[in-house]
């Protein structure tokens, strides 16, 4: 946010931009700050992340659901061992079968979960909070992108006002130059008096030439960010920002911290499931030698069905430590939230005071401009009567331009401060 303020003020101080004369012949379009912000969010590549996060979440939940479906495995092995059970050796006088040392087993095994302690629901909750956190992180990136649009927009806003002031100034000079040229032709004026006005006109034209490329650059950058086709004849309109000091903050950074805490809680709930009994059914059917009758050396088919249970009874307090880590992470986020709110309130206090200061200065700036206009008018009469030189007259005329630019700058700074205030609250 500090960067926005600095760049905004910089845009208001530096003489930046001028519309080329060739562009003025075109029919300009009008763009407001809201139009640019909306278009930027819709067209900047960042917006492509949102659907990807949604697809990612859908695939994750589908994977969780599929874990509840029967799990099928095809297993097979062929082996040779150096020794097998010799029934005759174990039971003298009993002629048992001679088992082969080469054995073969091929089976289709199935396992079906029966009870998992709400693992599926809690896993989906965790993935849901992860998705929301990713979307909120995207919103933070877009919030930062808005700051760039505001920076460029106010640079062009200042330029529009600066152009108007410079053109008015140049028109006054040109009118006085025409008057002095007539007097010079009649022999009623010295060339040196006219030269002072001509020199000032050259300086103004030089300013226009110098800032033309800067305007093109800013327009191109704004076009690139917003995706809206525009040129140097485009008119940028700023609606008066409506600021209410009673608004509550809606910053995505703070909301992300809250989502991270929700994700921690979901992780704790999922951790509880790990220490609940898991019930499952299983089955196996196959063909091989030997089958389940270990006393037969013939190839035979076999099958088995049953129910199993898995229950982790002791883990040397690993689960307790994991929960403690979750709690510590939640506590860290609490500190981050508190720190964030403190910093935000400090910024809001500065913006509020800045708005009050600028409102007061704007009122006095207007008085200064009115007074300097009267002084310049007096100087014009003195110039016509030969009381002062053209350089002295130009000096007073320059002051009019300077004070008018100062007034415009403060008005833009006030609007920029209001925009920054809304941005800081997350309401822009």
Which domains, from first to last, does the chain contain? 2-68+119-276+318-425 (1.20.1600.10), 72-115+277-310 (2.20.200)
Cα–Cα distance for residue pair 200/399, rounded to 1 Å = 13
Q: pLDDT at position 91, please?
A: 64
| 180-204 average pLDDT score | 84
| 185-192 average pLDDT score | 80
What mean pLDDT is reported for the chain?
A: 87
Cα–Cα distance for residue pair 428/424, rounded to 1 Å = 8
3-state secondary structure of 375: helix
Per-residue pLDDT band for 170 (boundaries 50, 70, 90) equals confident
The residue with tokens 């833009």 is 412
Q: Are 48 and 103 in contact, with CB atoms under 8 Å apart? A: no
Q: pLDDT at position 94, please?
A: 65
Strand partners for 74: 108
| 378-390 average pLDDT score | 87
Please enumerate in sequence order all residues whose Cβ is within 8 A of that of 140, keeping only pairs 6 or more positions apart, or say none: 252, 253, 256
3-state secondary structure of 154: helix
| 185-194 average pLDDT score | 80
Q: Are 197 and 176 in contact, with CB atoms under 8 Å apart? A: yes
Q: pLDDT at position 11, please?
A: 41
CA neighbor of 170 nearest in space, from 158, 162, 160? 162
Q: Which of 139-143, 243-247, 378-382 has the lowest mean pLDDT?
A: 243-247
3-state secondary structure of 72: strand
Q: pLDDT at position 92, please?
A: 67
Cα–Cα distance for residue pair 222/36, rounded to 1 Å = 8
Per-residue pLDDT band for 164 (boundaries 50, 70, 90) equals confident
Please count the CA atoms within 13 angstroms of the CA of 265 that sit on its side-chain side.
10
Q: Which of 109-118, 183-192, 317-326 has the lowest mean pLDDT?
A: 183-192
Cα–Cα distance for residue pair 383/130, rounded to 1 Å = 75
- The CA-atom distances, in angstroms, between 240 and each of 32, 34, 40, 103 are 11, 12, 21, 87
Report the sign of the C-alpha dihedral through residues 201, 204, 210, 212, in that order.
negative
Q: What HEC string does 158-215 produce?
A: HHHHHHHHHHHHHHHHHHHHHHHHHHHHCCCCCHHHHHHHHHHHHHHHHHHHHHHHHH
Per-residue pLDDT band for 169 (boundaries 50, 70, 90) equals confident
* pLDDT tens-digit readout, 16-46: 333 333 333 444 589 999 999 999 999 999 9
* pLDDT tens-digit readout, 313-371: 888 888 889 999 999 999 999 999 999 999 999 999 999 999 999 999 999 999 999 99
**254 phi, psi to nearest 5 deg:** -65, -40
Task: Please provide the DSSP assignment of 84-126 as one string.
Answer: ---HHHHSTT--PPPPPSEEEEEEEEEEEEEE-SSHHHHHHHH
Q: pLDDT at position 136, please?
A: 96
* pLDDT tens-digit readout, 58-111: 999 999 999 889 999 999 999 999 988 777 666 666 666 778 889 999 999 999
* pLDDT > 90 fraction of the chain, expressed in percent and rounded: 56
Cα–Cα distance for residue pair 70/113, rounded to 1 Å = 7
- The CA-atom distances, in angstroms, between 154 and each of 82, 150, 222 are 87, 6, 11
| 386-408 average pLDDT score | 89
| 230-247 average pLDDT score | 87
CA neighbor of 148 nearest in space, from 197, 221, 200, 94? 221
Angle at 378 between CA 372 and CA 383, to 5 degrees: 120
């Amino acid at each position: 946010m500090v960067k926005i303020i600095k760049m905004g003020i910089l845009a208001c101080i530096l003489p930046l931009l001028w519309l080329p004369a060739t562009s003025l012949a075109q029919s300009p379009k009008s763009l407001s700050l809201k139009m640019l912000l909306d278009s930027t969010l819709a067209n900047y590549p960042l917006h492509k992340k949102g659907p990807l996060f949604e697809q990612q979440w859908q695939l994750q939940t589908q994977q969780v659901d599929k874990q509840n479906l029967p799990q099928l495995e095809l297993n097979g092995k062929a082996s040779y061992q150096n020794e097998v059970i010799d029934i005759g050796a174990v039971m003298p006088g009993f002629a048992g079968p001679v088992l082969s040392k080469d054995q073969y087993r091929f089976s289709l095994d199935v396992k079906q979960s029966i009870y998992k302690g709400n693992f599926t629901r809690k896993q989906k909750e965790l993935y849901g909070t992860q998705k929301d956190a990713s979307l909120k992180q995207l919103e933070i990136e877009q919030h930062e992108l808005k700051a760039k649009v505001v920076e460029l927009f106010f640079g062009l806003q200042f330029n529009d006002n600066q152009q108007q002031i410079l053109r008015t100034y140049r028109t006054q000079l040109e009118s006085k130059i025409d008057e002095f040229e007539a007097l010079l032709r009649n022999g009623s004026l010295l060339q040196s008096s006219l030269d002072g006005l001509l020199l000032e006109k050259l300086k103004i034209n030089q300013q226009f030439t110098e800032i033309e490329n800067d305007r093109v650059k800013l327009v191109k950058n704004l076009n690139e960010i917003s995706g809206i086709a525009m040129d140097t004849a485009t008119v940028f309109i700023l609606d008066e920002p409506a600021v209410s000091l009673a608004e509550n903050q809606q910053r995505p950074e703070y909301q992300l911290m809250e989502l991270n805490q929700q994700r921690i809680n979901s992780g704790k709930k999922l951790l509880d499931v790990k220490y609940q009994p898991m019930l499952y059914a299983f089955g196996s059917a196959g063909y091989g030698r030997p089958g389940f009758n270990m006393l037969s050396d013939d190839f035979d088919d076999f099958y088995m069905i049953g129910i199993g249970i898995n229950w982790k009874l002791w883990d040397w307090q690993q689960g307790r430590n994991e929960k403690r880590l979750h709690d510590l992470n939640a506590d860290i986020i609490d500190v981050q939230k508190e720190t964030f709110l403190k910093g935000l309130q400090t910024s809001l206090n500065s913006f509020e005071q800045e708005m009050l200061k600028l409102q007061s200065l704007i009122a006095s700036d207007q008085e200064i401009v009115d007074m300097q206009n009267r002084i310049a008018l007096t100087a014009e009469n003195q110039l016509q009567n030969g009381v002062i030189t053209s350089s002295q007259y130009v000096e007073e005329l320059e002051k009019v331009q300077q004070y008018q630019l100062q007034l415009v700058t403060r008005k833009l700074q006030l609007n920029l401060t209001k925009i920054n205030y809304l941005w800081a609250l997350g309401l822009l």
